[in-house]
Chains A and B, each alone.
Chain A
Amino acid sequence: MQQPYDVEVGAGTMSPETFLRVLDPRPFSVAYAQPSRRPADGRYGENPNRLFKHTQFQVVLKPPPVNVQEIYLESLQAIGIDLRQHDLKFEEDNWEAPTLGAWGVGWQVMLDGLEITQFTYFQQCGGQDLDPISAEITYGLERIAAFLQDVDSLYDVIWTDSITYGEVRFLEEVQFSVYNFEQADVEKLWEHLRLYEAECQELLSRANQQPQELSVAEQRRFPILPAYDLCLKCSHLFNLLDARGAISVTERVGVIARIRNLAVGIAKVYSRMIARESHG
């Protein structure tokens, strides 16, 4: 079990607990809740089903057990969904994150017409072919809570006995929608993006100039994890600019490529470090 990552991310996949861990050939499994910020999905708290920030429960299984689907179904039973009283389908949905150079094959799991989970066999991450493959199971917590509690609006989800989700989060949704759509200073956002990108690139170029004969202990000191944080910052700034309507369709492809370059560079360095570590 892990704690949520404390840098803004758009999805649980972007936490280093997934993005970097899946690059490692050693077996590893992890689960954590991850608040996920998607500025463009903000609706000023007016739409009962869309949130700027929602919570994903992320499970990564590497390698996936042969009965991974059955285990998943048991997890639904465990949170109180009696499958004999519901309609469940695994429908094709292949996940892709262009800014991370990552993609996988899998399904969206539909429960009574509601997408409650994204189930993915990761194939590539940071442009690296993965081996072993990881299974990634992403539960949409607010949706599942609303489903279990039978409420129409995510804001009506009971948070504790006397407090609703809306009471906890409504203002955040309103204010971040106002900021993300109306008030974020576009020039400054671009500037932040440029600075974080430059810092990340600087680290990457240092990583690539490291001498081959570094000891494992020396190599371990190299700040690739901070470099990844910088890449996450860039990704979030991109999302903000996008929500702000500041990125034309023409520019979009270029900015995505800039961030993917960082993610791919980090994945390469990280994989190299792991390879040396296991040989050294």
Chain B
Amino acid sequence: MADLLLEIGLEEIPARMIAAAEAELARRVEGLLSRQRLGGTKITSYSTPRRLAVRVEGVLAQQLDMQEQLTGPSWKAAFPDGNPGPAAQAFAKKAGVAVSALEKITTAKGEYAAATVQRAGQSAAKVLTDSLPQEIGALSWPKTMYWRSNKPERFVRPLRWLICLLDETVVPVEFAGITAGSVSYGHRVLYGDRLVPIHRPADYPAALEAAFVIADPAARRHRIRKALDAATRALPEIRWREDEALVEQVTHLTEWPSIVLGNFEPEYLSLPEEVLVTVMRDHQKYFALEDKQHALAPHFLTVLNTEVDSAGMAIIRHGNERVLRARFNDARFFWNYDQKIPLSARVEMLKTVTFQRDLGSYFSKTESNLLMAKALGGAVASQGISFEQAALEQAVLLAKTDLTTELVKEFTELQGIVGGLYARAQHQGEAQGEAAAQAIYWQYRPAAMDDPIPPTLEGRLLGLADRVATIAEMFAVGLEPSGSKDPFALRRAANGVIKILAESGLPVTIEGLESLALETLPRAGKVGGFLKERLDFYLREVRGYSYDVVNAVLSTGLTTVADAIARAQALTDVRGSEDLAAISMAFKRIKNILRQAEDKQEGQSIKAEDLIEPAEQQLYAEVVRVAPQVEALRAEQKYPEALERVATLRPAIDSFFDQVMVLAPEAHLRRNRLALIASVLSDFSRIADFSEIVAS
């Protein structure tokens, strides 16, 4: 048993790609060892900005010898008259055995000549030297580059060194012009050009640590979190704002992390928090700090890729503070500059901002949004839901104007938010000012499934109108997403529609949205099918309902999204019960019988006098009794109770199918029975199509 180490030394890998690459390399090495029968009991992977590494314990030094049976020509061709012909000679030669050693085997295709050969196992070193370069080269990167003359290979960044060790022996793996050795490198500044010899794989993490590199990203992450906590403890009542994504990012930007706490002038706190945090987090990768009330405090934490004494600390703090001050100054400059032209005067400027080539500018997009919002608002108001009509209209009118501001040009991730902040500043004291500002601020939320929906009705209506109009207009000019291609993020827009409908409980159906768009917009495609697809996705992936429950609920025609959720929940609750399983089976059977029956009996009336068997009389009586009860409960959206009632049909249905032959030879009996089961199906399938339920 041997211990394997592979280290790939690179110029700095982009932070966003490291975690996936580390995992992929481990997977590839593991896969190679197992395909090559080289064992491997424990795999450990490492990564820093300058390296990816894998250590595998329990690797066999040698593949086991193997017997392999090779299949040759058909027996008849090889031994045409019982004696070996030229085909047999050629095959034996190729396989490296005597002709007399050929055997007859029988396969599904007939009789063939076969040869059993011994394959001597190769050494692990040989296999790795031959195969590892391919595995390294096959790593998938979002973006690659050339660096060597004649461009022999593409990789994420230039390769600088390789280590491949089996215990203490170097395996001369070669990739990108570099042959593996046993020497690594430490931290660029703290350890410089000095070599880091690795004597055996087990030494790897400790040897690197002595060279100021923590190879294990989990250990770096832990160290960063502890250092963030420790640095914050110096400030009473203050803590760092949790930001998992940022912790992840700085973990992959550092080999030897430490922390510096910096400050900024409290006067900058008069800038909106959103702007300050964007500058700190997105542009400078600083952690923001907050007080007990979650208000921003005038400090920041930055993660260094080095370790310095207190003099160095002061220099680095000072440098970072100066950069941040400059950035905040810039933001303040843009903020003040933008105030010279109020949002209301920017509507006209939207004529020069393209929304989409075939759909025109954001000015015409705003016109479509106004139409859509008006229609949607009307539909909602007619259901007795009240909101500030004037605020909604103002919000829709101004929603896109922040695209013309310098602040959004500088911080594109703040679109919508900047519009909301400007609207609040510019329309303070106006009746609808605050409600409109809120709606503008929230218009792009939810941005993802775990993101909240707008808190106000006006915000929700703006979000719905904007997205539905976008989807309908894009569909009208043939820009439906296909496969993995969704350049206008229409799926995300539709997911937002579903989430807003689901969580707001607004009384709007998907069909309703489709017809509003078709009736209102100058050009619109049909959005119903697309939205329904996203609802299906939402119910399964976000709400976690099983696919058969979702199919059952969505097969019955749509009410509102919230109602579909209520039905899916009720159905899920009874899904495991025996009664429901039996009813589901019976409904499947009914569907099959009806499908096979020549003329469909739906809508045919049932003639009570033709019900002659007791079981069919009983079923009929039950249907007549229970159907109105279920219908009443359904109308009140009391789905659990309604389903309970449906379940009471089970004995009658069971004995019907036990005792009655539906497809009776007598035409009138047959027709009557078909009509009976058709009415069972139609009367009780309004909450869900039970036949979709799969027995568990």
A86 at the interface (CB under 8 A from B): yes
Taking a contact as CB atoms under 8 Å apart, the answer to whether B188 and A88 are in contact is yes
Taking a contact as CB atoms under 8 Å apart, the answer to whether A114 and B323 are in contact is yes
Taking a contact as CB atoms under 8 Å apart, the answer to whether A249 and B315 are in contact is no
Which of the segments A28-36, A40-48, A172-180, A182-190 contacts the partner chain?
A40-48
B305 at the interface (CB under 8 A from A): yes
Contact with B along A225-255 (1 / 0, CB 8 A): 0000000000000000000000011100000
Number of residues on chain A facing chain B (CB within 8 A) = 41
Taking a contact as CB atoms under 8 Å apart, the answer to whether B145 and A121 are in contact is yes
Q: Which residues of A contact B158 (CB under 8 A)?
A: 66, 121
Contact with B along A88-132 (1 / 0, CB 8 A): 111110100000000011010001111000000101000000011
- How far, in whole Å, are A248 and B361 apart by their CA atoms in the complex? 10
With A66-B160, A112-B316, A112-B320 known as contacts, the answer to whether A123 contacts B146 (CB < 8 A) is: yes
A213 at the interface (CB under 8 A from B): no
Taking a contact as CB atoms under 8 Å apart, the answer to whether A86 and B145 are in contact is no
- How far, in whole Å, are A49 and B157 apart by their CA atoms in the complex? 32
Taking a contact as CB atoms under 8 Å apart, the answer to whether A49 and B326 are in contact is yes
Contact with A along B156-180 (1 / 0, CB 8 A): 0110100000000000000000000
**Which A residue's beta carbon lies closest to that of B189?**
A83
A87 at the interface (CB under 8 A from B): yes
Among B145, B253, B311, B325: residue with most chain A CB under 10 A: B145
Taking a contact as CB atoms under 8 Å apart, the answer to whether A84 and B149 are in contact is no
Q: Which residues of B contact A90 (CB under 8 A)?
A: 11-12, 49
- How far, in whole Å, are A133 and B306 apart by their CA atoms in the complex? 31
**Which A residue's beta carbon lies closest to that of B322?**
A152
With A43-B333, A87-B305 known as contacts, the answer to whether A112 contacts B312 (CB < 8 A) is: no
B34 at the interface (CB under 8 A from A): no
Taking a contact as CB atoms under 8 Å apart, the answer to whether A48 and B304 are in contact is no
Q: Which residues of A contact B157 (CB under 8 A)?
A: 105
Taking a contact as CB atoms under 8 Å apart, the answer to whether A49 and B329 are in contact is yes
Choose from A48, A49, A91, A111 the contact partner of B319 (Cβ within 8 Å). A111
Taking a contact as CB atoms under 8 Å apart, the answer to whether A91 and B146 are in contact is no
- Of residues 46 through 100 on chain A, the ones whose CB sits less than 8 Å from some CB of chain B are 46-50, 63-64, 66, 69-70, 73, 83-92, 94
Choose from B160, B254, B352 the contact partner of A249 (Cβ within 8 Å). B352
Taking a contact as CB atoms under 8 Å apart, the answer to whether A114 and B333 are in contact is no
A170 at the interface (CB under 8 A from B): no
| Interchain nearest-CB distance for B94 vs A (Å) | 43
Q: Which residues of A contact B160 (CB under 8 A)?
A: 66
Q: Which residues of B contact A87 (CB under 8 A)?
A: 260, 302, 304-306, 308, 316
| Interchain nearest-CB distance for B278 vs A (Å) | 15
A5 at the interface (CB under 8 A from B): no
Taking a contact as CB atoms under 8 Å apart, the answer to whether A49 and B189 are in contact is no
- Of residues 312 through 359 on chain B, the ones whose CB sits less than 8 Å from some CB of chain A are 312, 315-316, 318-320, 322-326, 329-330, 333, 351-354, 357
With A152-B325, A250-B361 known as contacts, the answer to whether A91 contacts B147 (CB < 8 A) is: no
Taking a contact as CB atoms under 8 Å apart, the answer to whether B319 and A92 are in contact is no
Q: Which residues of B contact A46 (CB under 8 A)?
A: 333
B595 at the interface (CB under 8 A from A): no
Q: Which residues of A contact B353 (CB under 8 A)?
A: 248-249
- How far, in whole Å, are A176 and B361 apart by their CA atoms in the complex? 31
| Interchain nearest-CB distance for B380 vs A (Å) | 34
Q: Which residues of B contact A43 (CB under 8 A)?
A: 333
Top-5 shortest CB links A-B? A112-B319, A248-B352, A92-B14, A90-B12, A105-B145
20 residue pairs from A and B, CB less than 8 Å apart: A43-B333, A47-B333, A50-B330, A66-B158, A70-B193, A84-B189, A84-B306, A84-B308, A86-B312, A86-B319, A87-B305, A88-B188, A113-B284, A113-B319, A114-B322, A121-B158, A133-B151, A248-B352, A249-B352, A249-B354
What residues of chain B have their CB less than 8 Å away from a CB belonging to chain A?
A: 11-12, 14-16, 49, 143-151, 157-158, 160, 188-190, 193, 253-254, 260, 284, 286, 302, 304-306, 308, 311-312, 315-316, 318-320, 322-326, 329-330, 333, 351-354, 357, 361
What residues of chain A have their CB less than 8 Å away from a CB belonging to chain B?
A: 43, 46-50, 63-64, 66, 69-70, 73, 83-92, 94, 104-105, 107, 111-114, 121, 123, 131-133, 147, 150, 152, 248-250
